[in-house]
Amino acid sequence: MDTSDRRLQARATSRELKRHLNEAQLVVYNTLERFGWDLKFIRQMPGKSSLVVLYDPDTRKYAILDADGVLEENPVFHQFRT
């Protein structure tokens, strides 16, 4: 049985993930990045817009950056599970 975690092998860097952001998201993320925020992952969901997840190490919280560049700092993640 293979015990390796595929997510670790496929983990993309923030620089690679930034290529998938639109203009509004890039403007907000570039500002947040100066304050230490990190782009953790982007979940592609069929028929829906992408879910962009950011992390703030100061508060140890995750946030969602929507397609309009609005940051949702208190997301309910269980809503996104399928």
**Residue 55 or residue 77, greater confidence:** 55
Give the model confidence (pLDDT) of 15-60 as tens digits.
889 999 999 999 999 999 999 999 999 988 788 878 899 999 999 9
> What single string gives the DSSP state of each residue in 23-70?
HHHHHHHHHHHHTT-EEEEEE--TTS--EEEEEETTTTEEEEE-TTS-
Neighbour tally for 53: CB within 10 Å: 19
Q: Confidence class of residue 11 from pLDDT cuts 50, 70 and 90? A: low
**What single-letter DSSP state applies at residue 28?**
H
pLDDT of residue 78: 54
**pTM (two decimals):** 0.75
